[in-house]
Chains A and B, each alone.
Chain A
Amino acid sequence: MSTSSTVVLILAVFGASTVEMVEALTIVVAAGVTRGWRSALEGAAAAVVVLAIIVLVAGVPLIHYVPIDALRVVVGALLLVLGLGWLRKSILRASGHKALHDEDAIFAATSAELAGGAAGSAPGRRRDGVGFAVAFKGVFLEGMEVVLIVVSLGASQHRLGIAAVAAGSAALIVGIVGALVARQLSAVPENTIKLAVGIMLTSFGLFWVGEGAGVHWPGSDLAIIFLVGLFFVVTMGSIAWMRALRPMAAEPSAVASERVEK
């Protein structure tokens, strides 16, 4: 495995983890502010532990017991589904056809929802089941996509450790930044990161589908760089083309948009 594909792997996992962790942290902060920090942090920590166990339980056997070509076809297909979905969404957002992901709106909506169910219980140090459950669910659901990316990319390249460290580093950095800036997560350029990661996941996906099926790419791993370049050009062209089409007013609520189209 060449250095270039390892670098792209680290960038893809780090970027994906950053985006998902920003979304998870918004929910954790909302749960912490409205229901108490103890339960919110315990819920988030429990979810991280469960996700780490899933990586170990699913990832290690995949590497050791599944034939590498079959694994690469399945992994490539999963990465293609994920990557094309992220690219499509990013193109629609960048061209103004879909509302941008608004962490402030999501924070406000989650806080209002939690505060509404908190009649008479002020946030404090005691345990709160709702706060724990909301934080756990937020981190677990957002983290599952990261786990899929870590396990699939890591297993197909036999770089599970590197992929896990990249994802963990991103989660740690987002956590530290989140603790410092608290509610200013909306400043993170989520759509740009999602677009870049979408390009990388789609490139990896197509590469592994080809390699696993026996269609070997010219230049071996260097073909990943070519595919990244190809999808970058296609994505930029698509955004320019979609912008040229009659622009529509973006939906006022990003929350509603996210709920309809996750």
Chain B
Amino acid sequence: MKALIRAVRAFGSFWWDFLVGDTPELFVAVVVIVTLALLLRHHREVALVLLPVLTVLFLAASTVRGRQRREGQP
């Protein structure tokens, strides 16, 4: 039983590290992108512009956050 619990914990820990880890903003970004893609399926033109632009903005924001964290700023 203990081995099973340990295995489940390790499995959960792996996925948590993989999906969230130390960049939770990227996980949130992907959730937003997927949600918008599903919501905008009938507004193709808007989605085709918005999805790449949002992806670029989220990447830039996360990179800046990474730099600030290394500088010790909030």
Contacts and interface: CB of A to CB of B under 8 A. Distances in A.
B30 interface: yes
Interface string B2-44: 0000000000001001110111001101110110011011101
B47 A210 contact: yes
A144 interface: yes
Contacts of B27: 81
A254 B19 CA distance: 23
Nearest to A257: B70
Contacts of A148: 18
Interface stretch (A35-43, A101-109, A189-197, A211-219): A211-219
Given A206-B51, A248-B71, A73 B34 contact: yes
A1 interface: no
A151 B31 CA distance: 21
Majority SS of interface residues in chain A?
helix
B26 A81 contact: yes
Contacts of B62: 84, 88
A206 B58 CA distance: 13
A148 B15 CA distance: 11
A98 B66 contact: yes
A214 B48 CA distance: 11
B61 to A, nearest CB: 10
Contacts of A85: 21, 23, 26
Contacts of B66: 88-89, 92, 97-98
Max count, chain A CB within 10 A of own CB: residue among B14, B29, B42, B63: B63
B51 A238 contact: no
B34 A84 contact: no
Nearest to B55: A206
Nearest to A87: B59
Nearest to A251: B70
A23 to B, nearest CB: 16
Nearest to B40: A215
A262 interface: yes
A98 B62 CA distance: 14
A88 B58 CA distance: 10
A33 interface: no
Contact of B55 (A89, A202, A242): A202
Contacts of A217: 48
17 contacts: A73-B34, A73-B37, A80-B30, A85-B21, A85-B23, A88-B59, A92-B63, A92-B70, A202-B59, A210-B51, A214-B41, A215-B40, A215-B44, A216-B44, A218-B48, A242-B67, A248-B71
